[in-house]
Structure 1
Amino acid sequence: MPFPLISAPLADALAERGYAEPTAVQNAVLEPQAAGRDLLVSAQTGSGKTIAFGIAIHPDLLGEAGQFEKAGTPLALIVAPTRELALQVQRELQWLYAKTGAVVTACVGGMDPRREARALDAGAHIVVGTPGRLRDHLERGRLDLATLRAIVLDEADEMLDLGFREDLEFILDATPDTRRTLMFSATLPKGIAHLASRYQKNAQRIAVAGAVGGHADIEYRAVRVMQHEVEHAVVNLLRYVDAPSAIVFCNTRESVRHLHAGLLERGFSAVSLSGELSQSERNHALQALRDKRARVCIATDVAARGIDLPSLGLVIHAELPHDAEALQHRSGRTGRAGRKGISVLLVPRAKLRRAEGMLVAAGVQPTWSGPPTVEEIRALDQQRLLQDPLLTEPANEEDAGLAAALAGERSAEDLAAALIRLYRSHLPALEDVSDPGFRADPRPARAERGERAPREGGHEGGGTEGVWFRLDVGRANNADPRRLLPMLCRRGDINRQDIGAIRIFDRETKVEIHPGRADHFAEAIRRSAGVGAVGIERLGAPSGRERAPRTSERTPRADGPRKAEKKQRART
């Protein structure tokens, strides 16, 4: 049996799915010393965490019987940060527990809560859900956790980063003291440590090797591009790699719409994922990828969280991620569970230094090159045609008869030329692209030397005063620039270089935003109202020059050098 200490129904399900041996994280949770204990696990995305916690809790749920009794109140609760991830976890647990008679129910935002209430009333052994929807069911008395034996927080760091701390604490407080608590997270920031110390008992800490730094099963590439040729480079990369399925990441909904339309016009079978789509539209897009009706997905970071496509072989960052953590999360959609994948960053000259710093921070050493050329792709097209199964599969009787008729009327050269034209007619058109030719700096990137790369657009030290916003958290709430920055970028739909000084006070924090991005930031914050636990408001009038908040405290800039900090203090 490849998976030791697992009951027969789960072992059979794993064998049928082709799981020959456990991954590192799955091995760790099966160690004898982990049995029955609370677990605090850090492991990289794509390492098999869903199966890991599925097999970790099965002794608590099944005992020695190997079969569930009639479903009633839930025995296990899995909490995930997004709808997509929760529904993915539900699918994974359904096949893993299929031979045990388990009822696995999902409760997620965007779905009909009345239908979920009926499902809970009918009984479930395992409930999977998002924090907000689970809390809603608890408050309305629809979800009873009195018999709960195990709770799992999946992607716990993401849930804290998205502002779900209060919801998680409410859910955990509603569970029996006798339950096991398992926390799975890619990273373990202070917030996770605090949550673990409060709700776990004698927890075993498991850190799977490779959880930090580049993923061993992902080949990283950095492609130099001209800024106006990014879309063309995406087209040629999709044609060059020719992966069974691919994800192209953009930073905004508008970029997703534009690139999606461009790929459809060129003949790609593509779908899009962004926050403006309904849950039904997202489900249809993901199903098209799983059914192979679509090969390319263009998505924003938020929409793509939790996507797991077994055939995903290529990730393209059409726009640079906000930070190293986002780079690893995006790239981790491929190279999962032992499969190989490719992650490609498109780097215009103006963003070279930022890209280098991000790669260093992520522990990644990519292969640099220009975008694939038309000649290189056509050479690959020729090889692929010669290896196509259409040329190697034996002909049936009907095909043989038609082939003989064609051979009687056309020469071999004519038939071969027609086959080539037919093959090429189904391929998206190629684009002429140029290599800017700049080279990556052989010296350590600024991020490695503890410095920040210069701001794009001249915000740093350029004499342009930023626009200030107030956050309703401060030192009393353990506010920290390292934790605030990702949240500001996500909710405000901006990049880190758009953020200037961050000044943290006892009960509030004030943040400087580049004047050219302030209106965009304010509008994005308005749209995201209610998404996070942190309130954000603009200081002063929407237009005109706004003075920096006066302060006698010397709070360091989140990402600026000492010289720019002195200038900022001089203005205040």
Structure 2
Amino acid sequence: MEKFKELGISDTIIRALSDMGFEEPTPIQAQAIPTLLSGKDLVGQAQTGTGKTAAFGIPLLENIKTASGAIYGIILAPTRELAIQVAEEMNKLGQFSNINTLPIYGGQDIQRQIKALQRKPQIIVATPGRLMDHMERRTIKLTDVRMVVLDEADEMLNMGFIEDIEKILSATPDSRQTLLFSATMPRQIQNLAQKFLKEPALISVKAKEVTVPLIEQYYMELQDRQKFDVLCRLLDIQSPELAIVFGRTKRRVDELFEALKKRGYSAEGIHGDLTQPKRDAVIRQFREGTIDILVATDVAARGLDVSGVTHVYNFDIPQDPESYVHRVGRTGRAGQTGSAMTFVIPRELEHLRSIERLTKRKIVRMPVPTLSEAIEGQQRLAVEKLLNQIEEGNLESYRGRAEDLLAETDSVSLISAALKLLTKEPDTTPIKITEEAPLRSRSFGGRRKPPENRKGAPSGKPRYKSGGFKK
């Protein structure tokens, strides 16, 4: 923890970091924490998975000196899931500081939130729309706010929250410290920073630092109708401990997780149409390992931070390179290895090249696995189960019966039968997944075409723009 101490962090926060299992700061934490403790505004260009919550959360907690009962800090997040995730991490960081963080988001009963606000939390993590509701009801007042954090500002822009953000910032004191974090820096985000931030420090953690070498990245070229059977074969061969399968649409997610369950896999799905309690329940099951395959859309999985995800499968290639970086960043976290596989229809290969250019990383082509390879993978897993059981021991009560069997049957036949019982034979029952049209190559280098009349995304300009912040 010495490197954290060198950043000027107090012992109570150091204790919390140690309890959470952190050993040393990530690059963005090492750069941002001293800057923010000095009181400067900051613009940080960083993806999820870089440790940016602690990068802004630690200085925010450090700056709260007294429990005055007023709201000291506001953190704005684009989705309910991210608001909950950030609030959970803030409460862990502040567990020995007597500082409370409350998530405020749509979909939860507002009266319940009003009661929670009466307990005087010092930090609010909110989605813009629900925060505006509380401001109009006068259940949240921003007159004493000393720090405002805009987390994933580009995503809030894409969701049409830019005007709400401007109203919220205008309701806070001019003396506040303002932090803006964004994976990309389109012109409107740059304009927002120029309008509301005072001589901000600029910090950038580029995509190539996010997609760390510990994540093995592959793609398979195949037709849409082949994808589901190939996914099942990969699951049989690779036997992931925890896996996330990304689909492009809500319909795709629904069809996929239902089809996986029919094939005998432990899977559930999340997307924006599910109720918040249902999404919370599914994510909790995934965290606890009750299910080992989570099927999700990009929006539903944004901000999702679950340790132990070993494999990510892009059933559909994402519509922009930045989303790819976000998806594969769900695995290989906290220094662990991970694997990402992307299914690509031949007409989508140019999108894949755009991803390679952005991430500065060659994605390796892998041949489509055969059914016999899937069977071999299951047999290999059965062998591992047997060997692991031998290592664990506690077999004494079975030895007598084993010796009786060996007296009647040869050992090879006996072990063959055990392997057969332990092997999950691949299910080849035909399952129909509705085909989706492939992404067409566009002049944006594979990026999403901007909507014509959407607030926060002017016609004729790409919604996603890589590159740094310009003062």
| Both structures adopt the same fold (TM-score exceeding 0.5) | yes
**In 2 relative to 1, CA 473–278 (structure 1 residues): closer, same or farther, beyond 3 Å?**
closer
State the SS of the aligned residue for 1:84.
helix
Partner of 2:45: 42
Q: Contact 1:44/1:211 (CA < 8 Å) preserved in 2? A: no
Partner of 2:18: 15
Q: Contact 1:149/1:180 (CA < 8 Å) preserved in 2? A: yes
**In 2 relative to 1, CA 198–263 (structure 1 residues): closer, same or farther, beyond 3 Å?**
same
- Deviation, 1:234, is 1.1
Aligned pair partner of 1:481 in 461, 464, 471: 461
State the SS of the aligned residue for 1:182.
strand
Deviations 1:282-325 (A, max 9, x none): 11110110010011111112222111111112211111211212
Q: Distance in 2 between matches of 1:105 and 1:210?
A: 31
Q: What amino acid maps onto 1:393 in structure 2?
A: E
Q: Distance in 2 between matches of 1:51 and 1:33?
A: 12
Which runs of structure 2 are paired with 1:455-470 in the superposition (5 Å)?
none
Q: Distance in 2 between matches of 1:244 and 1:130?
A: 32
Which runs of structure 2 are paired with 1:150-549 in the superposition (5 Å)?
150-210=147-207, 214-388=211-385, 389-395=388-394, 399-410=395-406, 411=409, 412-413=411-412, 415-424=414-423, 427=424, 429=426, 471=453, 479-483=459-463
- Deviation, 1:111, is 0.5
Q: Contact 1:272/1:298 (CA < 8 Å) preserved in 2? A: yes
How many residues align? The count is: 444
Deviations 1:92-120 (A, max 9, x none): 11111111112211100110111001111
% same residue: 33
State the SS of the aligned residue for 1:176.
coil
Q: CA RMSD in A?
A: 2.8
Q: Distance in 1 between matches of 2:417 and 2:95?
A: 50
Q: Distance in 2 between matches of 1:351 and 1:32?
A: 43
Q: What amino acid maps onto 1:390 in structure 2?
A: Q
Q: Distance in 2 between matches of 1:274 and 1:30?
A: 34
Q: Distance in 1 between matches of 2:34 and 2:461?
A: 38
Structure 2 length-normalised TM: 0.86
Q: Distance in 2 between matches of 1:2 and 1:451?
A: 42
Moved more, 234-243 or 198-207: 234-243
Q: Distance in 1 between matches of 2:393 and 2:4?
A: 40
Higher-RCO chain (CA-CA 8 Å, sequence separation at least 6)? 2
Structure 2 gap ranges (5+) = 431-440, 466-471
Moved more, 128-137 or 244-253: 244-253
Q: Distance in 2 between matches of 1:375 and 1:35?
A: 61
Partner of 2:131: 134
Q: Contact 2:236/2:375 (CA < 8 Å) preserved in 1? A: no
State the SS of the aligned residue for 2:283.
helix
Q: Distance in 2 between matches of 1:223 and 1:214?
A: 19
- Deviation, 1:393, is 0.5
**In 2 relative to 1, CA 106–208 (structure 1 residues): closer, same or farther, beyond 3 Å?**
same
Q: Distance in 2 between matches of 1:32 and 1:358?
A: 32
Q: Contact 2:36/2:59 (CA < 8 Å) preserved in 1? A: no
Partner of 2:468: none
Partner of 1:28: 31
**In 2 relative to 1, CA 73–264 (structure 1 residues): closer, same or farther, beyond 3 Å?**
same
Q: What amino acid maps onto 2:32 in structure 1?
A: V
Q: What amino acid maps onto 2:199 in structure 1?
A: N
Q: What amino acid maps onto 2:147 in structure 1?
A: A
**Greater C-alpha radius of gyration:** 1
- Deviation, 1:184, is 1.1
Q: Contact 2:211/2:328 (CA < 8 Å) preserved in 1? A: no
Q: Distance in 1 between matches of 2:454 and 2:399?
A: 75
Q: Distance in 2 between matches of 1:162 and 1:242?
A: 36
Deviations 1:242-272 (A, max 9, x none): 2221111111222112111110011110010
**In 2 relative to 1, CA 451–7 (structure 1 residues): closer, same or farther, beyond 3 Å?**
closer
Moved more, 192-201 or 237-246: 237-246
- Deviation, 1:227, is 2.7
Deviations 1:50-102 (A, max 9, x none): 1111113232114xxxxx63x72221111100000100111111111111112
Q: What amino acid maps onto 1:28 in structure 2?
A: Q
Deviations 1:517-550 (A, max 9, x none): xxxxxxxxxxxxxxxxxxxxxxxxxxxxxxxxxx
- Deviation, 1:381, is 3.8
Moved more, 152-161 or 378-387: 378-387
State the SS of the aligned residue for 1:53.
helix
State the SS of the aligned residue for 2:313.
strand
Q: What amino acid maps onto 1:14 in structure 2?
A: L
Q: Distance in 2 between matches of 1:430 and 1:224?
A: 23
Q: Distance in 1 between matches of 2:445 and 2:93?
A: 46
Q: Contact 1:256/1:299 (CA < 8 Å) preserved in 2? A: yes
1:93 pairs with 2:90: yes
State the SS of the aligned residue for 1:222.
strand
Q: Contact 2:257/2:267 (CA < 8 Å) preserved in 1? A: yes
